[in-house]
């Protein structure tokens, strides 16, 4: 895992090498094992790379990687899990000099052109400068596991793995995107392609950007989308096929020249991953997070699984004082993200990094198998066989976007509330349809429940969950690998009639079928629990009153004091968590 940056200048200036190294140094946490810089002979193009090494630990893996005639330069962040299979396929057309997946990416591009991206399995953010074509390609993986930001300004292009590196370039005015501020209060994150900064964009998942090196004209292409059908295999066949795909995915994800551990919560997803690792002959170190004085604390369940599978487990316990880490999260996350597990994810990543450089994690399983409560409830409602429910479905058919927006509504502000919260300078930037991002990713060609799953993949997971896990782990120089996010596995499940993999009585039925005789009954019967903590951890109203007194958001005319005071008089309101997160970010990046 790594960090990448790039700078292209078409104005009269040339690359400032000292400044470029300063930009690269902001990503030290993403790659403490080494760094590399490429600057073109005319000093108009620069690429940089920070390395966290896993495969071929020698200097052969150093990036940016340059082809034999110095016409193609590549830098990338991520892991290509099928690189050995691709290398074998490419060996008749390309002579390899290293054991790295980086050279496989370069070879694949040289042989197949930009369509090579469709052959990759993995997580990646890739930059390729092709002097033969006078083109730059910026490419992001299908699910958005790895980040990539970019912006054009004053005949320049700057891109990087994190916003802090772009800000360090001193190219863009530090101006808030007012519509992004409004979006944050609706979604808990700033949705792609926006960022919190005006003029800087996120490259959306499953997209690549083609940029002409001589003009900076650009073209955006979506290279992958999920297709759906309604095949009806038996549950036995579906479970067996899925188990094989997952076992193969885990096998590829543990390819490394250093040990791989695993996060472990005691839920189905992480427990299954550790189970498969043991079946493949590993005894991985596992890592868990718990909360002080909480009966539902995950570390208890994680220990049950670890003991059952005979693997070591370390746990860290969050206390009430851990919430103070939100001050540090403003730097870690670059832009405001109000997931309630940003601090616990950071803490368990910090714990894991003491023993390993990489872990497996269960992200993607809920999206894939319908594990979220809102998916289950929507399925129950949609396929309820009672005459009354059938009549209700006919008279008032469910609107998946409206349903989904309500499901995501932790601390949600509607249009009227945004006008009360935000200073009048922001009112013209509030979108009339505050749920535009959900609507953008709603697909009417899918069945209603698959449409819900698709919005989860593109919105909740792609923008919130994966951003959280990337920043929290990489801030600790830890790589997180997510075997459930295998695009072939998603394609298989979406080709199946949802009634075959969703059940009214059993959560994540297909996964359950593969673990039901291999894990303790206390784990199998455990009620679904998200990665959360006790409400008391987040709803200390005295803490909010102290932290939001003399708020910079008020001083700088972002929010209104009167509305903030009305919230602070209450005993419980998740809107305060969002305001706190933005206040910490604003104080760190603008008001400091």
Residue 151: per-residue pLDDT? 98
Burial 367-387 (b: 16+ CB within 10 A, else e): bbbbbbebbbebbeebbeeee
Q: What is the pLDDT of residues 329-356, one digit of tens each?
A: 999 999 999 998 999 999 999 999 999 9
Per-residue pLDDT band at 320 (split at 50, 70, 90): confident
What value, to the nearest 5°, has the Cα angle with vertex 304 and ends 301 and 305? 95
Q: 123 and 252 in one domain? A: no
Residue 389: per-residue pLDDT? 59
The total of structural domains in the chain comes to 2
Q: 143 and 51 in one domain? A: yes
375 occurs within a structural domain: no
Dihedral Cα 36, 38, 43, 46, nearest 10 deg: -80
Q: 457 and 364 in one domain? A: yes
Active site residue 2: yes
Which CATH number belongs to the domain containing residue 495 in this structure?
A: 3.40.50.620
Residue 71: per-residue pLDDT? 96
Alpha-helical (H) ranges within 33-138 are 83-90, 101-112
Does the pLDDT of residue 495 top 70, yes or no?
A: yes
562 occurs within a structural domain: no
Q: 466 and 324 in one domain? A: yes
Q: Please state the rounded mean pLDDT for residues 11-19.
A: 94
- Tell me the residue range of the domain where 338 lies: 235-370+446-524
Contact 161, 146 (CB under 8 A): yes
Nearest to 461 by CA among 192, 84, 161: 192
Give the rounded percent of residues in the chain with a pLDDT score beyond 70: 95
Q: What is the pLDDT of residues 499-553, one digit of tens each?
A: 999 988 888 999 999 999 999 999 998 877 666 667 777 888 899 999 999 999 9
1, 2, 272, 502: the catalytic one is 2
575 occurs within a structural domain: no
Contact 184, 125 (CB under 8 A): no
Residue 322: per-residue pLDDT? 86
Q: Of 482, 509, 524, which residue is a domain's last? A: 524
Q: Of 187, 222, 257, which residue is a domain's last? A: 222
Cα gap 99→305, rounded to integer Å: 36
Nearest to 260 by CA among 274, 270, 239: 274
Q: Please state the rounded mean pLDDT for residues 278-299.
A: 91
Contact 431, 182 (CB under 8 A): yes
Q: 244 and 216 in one domain? A: no
Q: 507 and 470 in one domain? A: yes
Query: In the block, which residue shows the tokens 């999920």?
Result: 226
Q: 260 and 217 in one domain? A: no
Contact 50, 24 (CB under 8 A): yes
Q: What is the largest CA-CA distance in the chain?
A: 74
Q: 240 and 217 in one domain? A: no
Q: 297 and 214 in one domain? A: no
Per-residue pLDDT band at 392 (split at 50, 70, 90): low
- Give me the count of residues in the chain: 592
Q: Of 154, 188, 222, which residue is a domain's last? A: 222
Query: In the block, which residue shows the tokens 């004053």?
Result: 154
488 occurs within a structural domain: yes
What value, to the nearest 5°, has the Cα angle with vertex 49 and ends 485 and 216? 90
Cα gap 306→465, rounded to integer Å: 25
Does the pLDDT of residue 390 top 60, yes or no?
A: no
Q: What is the pLDDT of residues 200-240, one digit of tens each?
A: 999 999 999 999 999 999 999 999 999 999 999 999 999 99
DSSP labels, 156-223: EEEEESSHHHHHHTT-S---B-HHHHHHHHHHSS--TT--SBTTEEEPPTTEEEEEETTT--EEEEE-
φ, ψ of residue 562 in degrees (nearest 5): -65, -40
Task: Tell me the sheet residues that pair with 220.
Answer: 209
Q: Please state the rounded mean pLDDT for residues 152-171.
A: 96
Q: What average pLDDT does the structure give for the chain?
A: 93
Q: What is the pLDDT of residues 53-106, one digit of tens each?
A: 666 666 667 889 999 899 999 999 999 999 999 999 999 999 999 989 999 999
11 occurs within a structural domain: yes
326 occurs within a structural domain: yes
Q: 191 and 72 in one domain? A: yes
Q: 133 and 267 in one domain? A: no
Q: Please state the rounded mean pLDDT for residues 495-501.
A: 93
Contact 498, 379 (CB under 8 A): yes
18 occurs within a structural domain: yes
Per-residue pLDDT band at 388 (split at 50, 70, 90): low
Per-residue pLDDT band at 269 (split at 50, 70, 90): very high
Nearest to 474 by CA among 8, 78, 43, 73: 78
Residue 58: per-residue pLDDT? 61
Q: 147 and 19 in one domain? A: yes
Does the pLDDT of residue 1 top 80, yes or no?
A: no
159 occurs within a structural domain: yes
Cα gap 449→445, rounded to integer Å: 11
Residue 412: per-residue pLDDT? 83
Contact 55, 99 (CB under 8 A): yes
Whether the bond between 193 and the residue before it is cis, its omega within 30 degrees of 0, is: yes
DSSP labels, 100-124: -HHHHHHHHHHHHGGGGGGG--EEE
Which CATH number belongs to the domain containing residue 42 in this structure?
A: 3.60.20.10
């Amino acid at each position: 895992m790594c960090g990448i940056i790039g700078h292209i200048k078409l104005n009269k200036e040339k690359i400032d090498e000292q400044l470029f190294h300063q930009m690269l140094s902001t990503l030290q946490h993403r790659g403490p094992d080494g760094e590399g810089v490429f600057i073109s002979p005319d000093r108009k193009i620069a690429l940089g790379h920070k390395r966290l090494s896993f495969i071929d630990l020698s200097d052969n893996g150093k990036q940016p990687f340059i082809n034999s005639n110095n016409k193609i330069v590549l830098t990338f962040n991520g892991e290509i899990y099928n690189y050995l299979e691709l290398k074998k396929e490419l060996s008749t057309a390309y002579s390899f000099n290293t054991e790295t997946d980086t050279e496989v990416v370069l070879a694949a591009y040289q042989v197949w052109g930009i369509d090579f991206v469709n052959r990759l399995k993995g997580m990646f953010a890739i930059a390729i400068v092709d002097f033969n074509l006078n083109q730059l390609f910026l490419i992001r993986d299908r699910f958005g596991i790895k980040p990539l930001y970019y912006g054009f300004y004053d005949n320049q292009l700057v891109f990087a793995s994190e916003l802090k590196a772009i800000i360090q370039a001193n190219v863009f005015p530090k101006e808030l995107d007012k519509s992004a501020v409004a979006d944050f209060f609706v979604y808990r994150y700033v949705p792609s392609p926006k960022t919190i900064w005006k003029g800087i964009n996120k490259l959306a998942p499953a997209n690549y950007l083609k940029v002409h090196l001589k003009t900076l004209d650009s073209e955006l292409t979506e290279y992958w989308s999920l297709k759906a059908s309604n095949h009806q295999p038996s549950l036995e066949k579906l479970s067996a096929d899925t188990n094989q795909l997952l076992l193969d995915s885990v096998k590829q994800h543990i390819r490394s020249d250093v040990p791989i551990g695993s996060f472990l919560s005691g839920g189905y997803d992480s427990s299954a991953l550790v189970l498969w690792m043991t079946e493949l002959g590993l005894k991985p170190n596992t890592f868990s997070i718990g909360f002080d004085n909480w009966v539902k604390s995950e570390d208890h369940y994680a220990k049950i699984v670890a003991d059952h599978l005979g693997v070591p487990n370390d746990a860290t316990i969050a206390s009430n004082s851990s919430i103070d880490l939100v001050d540090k999260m403003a730097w870690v996350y670059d832009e405001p993200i109000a997931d309630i597990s940003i601090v616990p994810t950071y803490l368990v990543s910090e714990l894991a990094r003491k023993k390993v450089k990489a872990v497996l994690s269960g992200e993607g399983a809920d999206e894939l198998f319908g594990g979220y409560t809102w998916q289950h409830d929507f399925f129950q409602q949609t396929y309820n066989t009672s005459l009354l429910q059938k009549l209700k479905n006919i008279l008032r058919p469910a609107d998946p976007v409206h349903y989904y927006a309500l499901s995501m509504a932790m601390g949600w502000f509607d249009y009227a509330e945004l006008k009360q919260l935000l200073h009048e300078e922001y009112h013209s930037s509030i979108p009339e349809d505050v749920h535009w991002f959900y609507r953008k990713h709603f697909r009417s060609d899918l069945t209603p429940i698959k449409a819900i799953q698709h919005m989860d993949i593109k919105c909740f997971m792609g923008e919130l969950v994966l951003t959280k896990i990337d920043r929290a782990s990489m801030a600790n120089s830890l790589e997180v690998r997510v075997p459930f996010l295998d695009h072939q596995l998603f394609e298989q499940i979406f080709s199946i009639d949802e009634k075959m993999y969703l059940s009214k009585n059993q959560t994540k039925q297909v996964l359950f079928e593969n673990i039901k005789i291999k894990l303790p009954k206390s784990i199998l019967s455990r009620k679904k629990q998200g990665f959360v903590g006790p409400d008391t951890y987040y709803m200390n109203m005295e803490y909010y009153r102290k932290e939001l007194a003399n708020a910079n958001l008020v001083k700088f005319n972002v929010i209104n004091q009167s509305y903030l005071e009305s919230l602070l008089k209450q005993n419980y309101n998740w809107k305060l968590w969002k305001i706190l997160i933005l206040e910490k970010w604003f104080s760190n990046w603008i008001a400091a």
